[in-house]
Structure 1
Amino acid sequence: MTTDPDPMRRLGLQLAWHGSVTETRIRKALGAAGLTPRHAMTLMHLDAGPVGQRALAERLEVDPSVLVGILNDLETEGLVERRRDPADRRRHIVAITGSGSAALGQTNAALDEVERGIFGNLSDEECEQLRTLLGRVNSSAEDFTCGE
């Protein structure tokens, strides 16, 4: 890693800066539809089909109690529905509704616009390289080492 005093040579600071700007733009775009990034991610995961509530919490990497709040918000807006699993009454199945699918379409259009603005100077190949590199970045809260 570098000890260069130029802050733009510090990858962590640069990633934090770009992350902050990106988050602000995404929150603004999603806020117009009354959604948060967690709401949007939940709808995206449900778009593939109904899923158990516990499995959804694992996919979203959130505590089940946090997911309950997210689902309460989405259910109040008519974007998802929860129902008991007929095979196991203790288990809840979560599904996106027609309104949720429509909201997801608007969400994806808003995200596409934000991403065009952010990544417009990158080629498709460069975007794919960035996805690959970001996938390799260790952002685990438990591990604070870099490059060891």
Structure 2
Amino acid sequence: MAPAHPDDRLGFLLSFRGELTGARIRAALAVAGLHPRNAMTLMQLAPGAVSQRDLAVAMDLDPSQLVAILNELESSGLCRRRRDPADRRRHIVEVTAAGREALGRIDEAVGAAERELFGHLTEAEQAQLRSLLDRVVVDSAAHECGE
């Protein structure tokens, strides 16, 4: 039996297209002066202040990885951390005014990249793609549990 063609292997196709998409998004964010993880962190913070612990959970990051990202963002003046007055052990993280300006550049850069990447898809097809990607199992623990 002949091996499957790469286009017939969904995992390979998704991985390859994902690498190309990732490269395009990284290039767009570089123009905005940001790394993808920094941009994603700012985007997570956009709705409002959040505890550092909750942010790590939302981003599925090890807390030490998040600390490194927040250190970069804070040294660039894009976010700030402060002690929670109700619980001094907790840090609250929020976007600064400069961070909000960066979010505008991120939105513009990513929007342009997405129009280029997905411009041949209708809005309904883009919604369908989102829905399908949401169902792709990438969490090994969920996969092992049969979820």
TM-score over 0.5 for the alignment?
yes
- Is the contact between residue 31 and residue 109 of structure 2 (CA under 8 Å) also seen in structure 1? no
- Counterpart Cα distance in 2 of 1:50 and 1:5: 49
Identity among equivalent pairs (%):
51
Alignment deviations for residues 7-63 of structure 1 (CA, whole Å, 9 cap, x no partner): 111101110111000010111111122211111111111110000000000001000
Alignment of structure 1 residues 1-148 onto 2, 5 Å: 5-142=4-141
Counterpart amino acid of 1:56? L
Extract unaligned runs of 5+ from structure 2: none
Alignment deviations for residues 54-88 of structure 1 (CA, whole Å, 9 cap, x no partner): 00000010000000000000001000000001111
Moved over 3 A (4+): 141-145
- Is the contact between residue 4 and residue 10 of structure 1 (CA under 8 Å) also seen in structure 2? no
- Counterpart Cα distance in 2 of 1:114 and 1:32: 11
Root mean square deviation, CA, Å: 1.6
- Give the length in aligned residue pairs: 143
Q: Output the TM-score relative to the length of structure 1.
A: 0.92
Extract unaligned runs of 5+ from structure 1: none
* Structure number having the greater helix percentage: 2
